[in-house]
């Protein structure tokens, strides 16, 4: 416990102490508070009682959490039952309050950026999921709000705590990134057994720049080289995330171009296709199932393994950042410390 307090701070230490039992209500006050109690009326945030909120979280798997400074972040619980009745519970955690990279299809980026999360604020999201679902978290994915590689120190600290103290296997943890210069190399040096997931969203540099503005400072060839080197350094397969946007990047021709790109840089890859989850005010549309199937079939015809993510709750603000934006209307402003760290990343580019 002394080690846990040193690594992850006191608020987390209090919660982990009772992890094996029924975790008392502390981090989720009206599905709201991480760290110290904010004193907020638990009925204010969504206008529902705590049992109603917990049932809502179980139904849709999505929590809205309030931090000590009243900032809001999202955490998602994804329970999956196999044929034998065993339940795998995945926690999708945020690493920042908002996101500075502003990918064009992402609701999180539209809400602005405030600050990086501390390691205990990341780990407590996992404990909040356990509390609501009354089940042990088996998998963790850093695919919530924010760019994990822009908060790599705290993400690695949370990763260590989740592995060593919360006892989630490294291979059950995935760290996602849209690509930040020099950070994949830094991550490779730690030789983690976790999965690196890189958000590509396009098979060529020109199209990727229209979808991911930060791609201008990190060309596609450079990120693919770093992914190849990551595999050589860690012997861990890189997974690629590809959000399918109707009429933008979802044609069979795009799939064939993507397959050619992956074959050029190696074969130890997997593609996770994500049909776009519509968000308010977006110009993008969700592709038809026929287009998704054709894209997947084209990849498989070129010997690229892929899977299609089953999105849930299309009417429940399920896109990352969308629920937070409904309750935090004013655009976020970055703190001076986090603005400095963002500038350092720009200089690295």
Q: Are strands 238-244 and 195-199 parallel, antiparallel or unpaired?
A: parallel
Q: How far apart are CA 24 and CA 18, in angstroms?
A: 8
Assess whether 74 carries a catalytic annotation: yes
In our burial notation (b when 16+ CB lie closer than 10 A, e otherwise), range 132-155 reads bbeeebbbbbbbbbbbbbbbbebb
Query: Among residues 52, 81, 320, 326, which one is catalytic?
Result: 320
Q: Based on the number of CB atoms within 10 Å of its own CB, is 67 exposed (0-12), middle (13-18) or buried (19 or more)?
A: buried
Residues with Cβ within 8 Å of 251's Cβ and at least 6 positions away in sequence, in order, are 291, 295
Q: How far apart are CA 83 and CA 81, in angstroms?
A: 7
Within a 10 A sphere around the Cβ of 240, how many other Cβ atoms?
Answer: 22
Helices (H), 102-192: 107-110, 119-133, 152-164, 183-189
Assess whether 320 carries a catalytic annotation: yes
Within a 10 A sphere around the Cβ of 72, how many other Cβ atoms?
Answer: 23
CA-nearest of 349, 341, 343 to 116 is 341
Helix (H) or strand (E) holding 4: helix 2-8
One DSSP character per residue, 220-283 reads: HHHHHHHHHHHHHHH--PEEEEEEE-TTTT-SHHHHHHHHHHHHHT-S-EEEEEEE----TT-S
Query: Among residues 74, 121, 124, 147, which one is catalytic?
Result: 74
Catalytic residues: 74, 320
């Amino acid at each position: 416990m002394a080690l846990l307090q040193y690594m992850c701070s006191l608020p987390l230490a209090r919660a982990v102490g009772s992890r094996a039992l029924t975790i008392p209500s502390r981090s989720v006050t009206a599905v709201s508070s991480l760290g110290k109690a904010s004193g907020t009326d638990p009925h204010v945030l969504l206008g529902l009682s705590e049992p109603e909120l917990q049932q809502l979280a179980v139904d849709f798997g999505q929590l809205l959490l309030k931090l000590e400074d009243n900032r809001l972040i999202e955490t998602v619980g994804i329970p999956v039952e196999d044929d034998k009745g065993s339940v795998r519970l995945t926690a999708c955690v945020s690493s920042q309050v908002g996101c500075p990279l502003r990918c064009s299809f992402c609701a999180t980026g539209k809400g602005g950026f405030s600050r990086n999360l501390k390691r205990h604020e990341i780990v407590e999201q996992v404990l909040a999921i356990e509390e609501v679902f009354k089940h042990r978290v088996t998998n963790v994915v850093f695919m919530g709000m924010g760019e994990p590689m822009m908060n790599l120190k705290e993400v690695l600290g949370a990763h260590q705590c989740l592995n060593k103290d919360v006892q989630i296997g490294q291979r059950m943890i995935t760290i996602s990134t849209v690509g930040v210069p020099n950070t994949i190399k830094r991550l490779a040096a730690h030789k983690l057994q976790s999965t690196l997931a890189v958000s590509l969203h396009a098979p060529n540099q020109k199209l990727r720049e229209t979808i991911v503005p930060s791609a201008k400072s990190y060309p596609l060839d450079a990120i693919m080289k770093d992914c190849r080197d990551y595999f050589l350094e860690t012997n861990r397969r890189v997974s690629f995330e590809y959000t399918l946007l109707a009429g933008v990047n979802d044609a069979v021709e795009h799939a064939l171009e993507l397959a050619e790109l992956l074959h050029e840089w190696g074969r130890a890859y997997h593609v996770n296709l994500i049909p776009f989850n519509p968000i308010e005010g977006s110009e993008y549309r969700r592709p038809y199932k026929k287009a998704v199937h054709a894209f997947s079939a084209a990849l498989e015809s070129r010997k690229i393994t892929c899977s299609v993510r089953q999105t849930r709750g299309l009417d429940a603000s399920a896109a990352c950042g969308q629920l937070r934006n409904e309750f935090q209307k004013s655009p976020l402003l970055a703190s001076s410390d986090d603005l400095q760290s963002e500038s350092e990343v720009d200089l690295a580019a």
